[in-house]
Copies of this chain bind each other. A is one copy, B any other.
Amino acid sequence: MPDNFADKLAATIIARQSQVCVGLDPRLDRMPPSLVERYREAPRKGCGCGRHEIGACFEEFGVAIIDAVAPHAVAIKLQLACFEQYGPPGIKAFKHLCKRAAKAGLIVIADAKRGDIGISAAAYSAAFIGRPQGFDGEIDGFNADALTVNPLFGSDGMQPFIDDCQKYGAGIFVLVKTSNPGSAALQDLIVMAGPDSGGETAGASGAFGGNPSKYYEKVASLADKWGAGLIGESGYSSVGAVIGATHPETLATLRQALPHTPFLLPGYGAQGAGAADVAPAIDSSGLGALVTASRSIIYAGAGEDFAGRAAEAAERMRVELWQANRGNG
């Protein structure tokens, strides 16, 4: 029987006394100038546009960050967009860093926000948390522990991801309420159950106790339902929810409605949320949430000691969070 993702996450949080998830979002214009310069001057492969060297630069940067933050963090969240824009060399760097982070004992979250239907959803799931079909059976994909997914397609679109969570002991984090200011436009709409939605939405019997509710609460109820069969011994499910830490008022409501759902909380640090803001998401054992920071950690230093500065920033965040958020019960 495969491990349960939620249990692996819970055990790692307790063992490290940390709720820190480091977001690895490499940008050429934010990385240490001396590192970038070295790759800029390197002999160019391929067409000469520098794509291969940028991929290699991201790889070196990422390895240094991963190794530095590994003792302080629980998880690393790799932002696919940053890698994908450099084509095959970018994806090669992403793949290498997934492997490196796993080797460093970190939980690997592919922040790809994928979502689709039918065979396409199945292929995305295979790519990140399942196993793609090879010539003679299954082969390795990116082998992440978990993937962020976009719920817009509904339950049939989510099923392949849920199946792979079961089959491979993986996890997903469903986008419930994103951290950007504009998220209100479509996520905060007040909704009634639609005439065609049948039993698909939680509706009046859902975790929020009746209509009307906000759109993101409907998504949250579905995430709760999708994760019902994946609850581990820790009491948490392998189907989690992404909720911007920039919306502290919603965290308490969602935590109460979704007692089994691990939350992935972006928006800490550079986006403005602090340790007290995330407290409602965390239980008396320190479980229940991973708190993500990217820029404030990976770009903490721009000199030769950038990795050391990242380690310090991660440790500072670990202590801040753990001191504020243990013994909540």
Contact = CB atoms under 8 A, between A and B. Distances in A.
Interface in A105-147: 111, 113-124, 126-127, 132-136, 139-142
Interface string A185-199: 111111111111110
A191 B85 CA distance: 36
**Which of A29, A114, A120, A215 has most B Cβ within 10 Å?**
A120
A100 to B, nearest CB: 15
Q: How many copies does the complex hold?
A: 2
A36 B135 CA distance: 8
Which of A79, A185, A190, A193 has the most CB atoms of chain B within a 10 A radius of its CB?
A: A185
Interface in A259-300: none
Given A50-B135, A120-B25, A184 B190 contact: no
A170 to B, nearest CB: 14
A135 B36 CA distance: 8
Interface in A156-205: 156-157, 175, 178-198, 200-201
B81 A88 contact: no
A89 B88 contact: yes
Contacts of A120: 25, 79, 81-82, 111
Given A133-B28, A134-B54, A184-B198, A85 B126 contact: yes
A151 interface: yes
A12 to B, nearest CB: 25
A209 interface: no
Interface in A181-239: 181-198, 200-201, 212, 214-215, 218-219, 222
Contact of A185 (B40, B113, B124, B154): B154
A237 to B, nearest CB: 19
A121 B85 CA distance: 11
Given A50-B135, A92-B88, A135-B40, A181 B198 contact: no
A189 B191 contact: yes
Contacts of A195: 188, 190
A49 interface: yes
11 contacts: A40-B136, A51-B139, A87-B127, A88-B91, A113-B114, A113-B150, A118-B180, A150-B150, A151-B186, A152-B175, A190-B194
